[in-house]
Amino acid sequence: MSDILLSVIELLCVELWQEIFEYFNFHDLWYSFRGLNSRIDAIMDQIILHIDFKNGDDYSYFEKNILLSVKNIANVRSLKLRRTNEIKHFFLIYSLSSFTQLRLLSLTLKYSFNDKLFRFWNQLSSLKNLRRLEIKFWGITGPNNCIQEKEYIIRSIFNKDYCPLLESLIISTCGRQKQIPTIPLLIRTSRSTNLKRLFIDSLTFNDLIKLFPALANLQTCCIDYKLYADDQPDPREPQILTTGLMLPKCIQLNLRSVNVIMFEQIEYLLQQTPNLKELFLSGWYHIPNAKKWELLLSIQCPKLIKFYLSCRGGAYNADFYQAIDDFAEECNITPYWLTRHTITEMYGYFRCRFEYY
């Protein structure tokens, strides 16, 4: 950049410089402007930062050229790290608790270091302004590496009031370990939260109930891998279904692999969501019954506009295949299913779906 041009643009007001900087990502901003002169550097020291390492080169550039020049960590509003080695190196330099103004924290392929004292996650208590937390574990030595950490994180948020402004919570396990149950054991909560979106890969029905008092503002709930029945209930917690309307604002409910969950349990969940608009249930291993589903959905989910149900049965289960035929026949003659243009299909498993507007 020529000295004449630099001297002219240097006269731009601070507000205009800040507006210009908003068009650049973190990497390009430092590459293009850092070190031009002391005034621009001083302005950059005050701007809000969004750090996102999309590939290995981004982090390498950060380590070599940016690391030591970031003067005020409190300016960072969002932080996304996607690789185990980067996560480990980054937090050897900066403590998580120093990002006091952070709004978004996303850690993908977070490796469990078997810290029984949870020193890293305890720093969540300092993130008073955090709105979105995304954690995807990589449990390469076995599922037990992340189960206890999941429990600690969830209990800290729901039982200890960590991250009090949190609106979105995503916790899951990546890779082959996703196929192995990594179910956290939860404690019943009485605290309210601001959560609007909750995504957890594996959970039991009873533990989901334990979170209900904190989910009055929830809009989207997703158990992304499997919702389990409670074959061995927590002896500290009686299996008492919460009374009263607990999820009044929930409009999306996505439950995968609900193979051992009973129809009555699904009915109870839907009783808590009178404003539900989208319902996705997959992996159902019970015989489908169109009349029961029609009665349940028409009464408990009067605002439902999207419905997806997939059911599996044994290869030689005659009752299952007869139920499929009966379900399809009901959909062809019953006004509830007809007006919603319901589609039933059979591709190794039974699928029923509609979108109704």
d(CA 291, CA 241): 25
Strand ranges inside the chain, DSSP E? 49-52, 76-81, 104-110, 132-137, 168-173, 197-204, 220-228, 252-255, 278-284, 306-311, 343-346, 350-355
CA 239, 266, 220: angle at the middle one, nearest 5? 100
Q: Supply the DSSP symbol for 14.
A: H
Measured distance CA(255)–CA(263) in Å, rounded: 13
- Cβ neighbors of 176 (< 8 A, separation 6 or more) are none
- pLDDT for 236 equals 46
Predicted pLDDT of residue 352? 92
Which 3 state secondary structure label does DSSP give 350?
A: strand
Q: What is the pLDDT of residue 222?
A: 96
Q: How far is CA 17 from the centre of its chain?
A: 35
pTM of the model: 0.85
Q: What is the pLDDT of residue 354?
A: 92
Tokens at 80, concatenated? 């996304």
Q: Output the CA–CA distances (angstroms, integers) from residue 256 to 207, 281, 282, in the order listed.
A: 16, 6, 5
Token reading at 134: 């995304």
Give the pLDDT confidence score for residue 276 in this predicted structure: 97
Q: Mean pLDDT score of the chain, rounded to an integer?
A: 83
Instruction: Give the per-residue pLDDT at 283.
Output: 84
Ranges of the chain with pLDDT below 70: 1-12, 14, 17-19, 21-25, 27, 31, 35, 45-46, 56-57, 67-69, 71, 112-114, 139-145, 175-182, 231-244, 314-315
> Rounded to a whole number, what is the largest CA-CA distance in the chain?
84
**Res 238: pLDDT:** 47
